[in-house]
Amino acid sequence: MKKEYDFSKGVRGKFCQRDTKFNIPIYLDEDVHRFVQEIADAKKAPVSDIVNRLIKSDMKTREIVR
């Protein structure tokens, strides 16, 4: 590494994109993944869609219970 770097021609925020969507990894237990995978295979849908549907269903249930 250099002792000093010249940032005089740098542009702040040049590569920053405010509307960037981050996909974070979610790690499912083996039995949960198997369960969701079976549903996804039956519906011919991605696992992520099934997981989102299940979580959204739980969110609605929580709102009803409150």
Question: Tell me: the pLDDT tens digits for 5-20?
Answer: 999 999 998 998 888 8
The DSSP secondary structure of 13-31, one letter per residue, reads TTT--TTPPP-------HH
Within 13 Å and on the Cβ side, how many CA atoms surround 40? 16
Q: Which amino acid is at 10?
A: G
- Residue ranges of domains in the chain: 30-65
**pLDDT, tens only, 33-49:** 999 999 999 999 999 99
Report the C-alpha gap between 3 and 42 in whole angstroms. 59
Phi, psi dihedrals of residue 57, rounded to the nearest 5°? -65, -45
**46 membership: H or E segment, kind and range:** none
pTM as predicted: 0.63
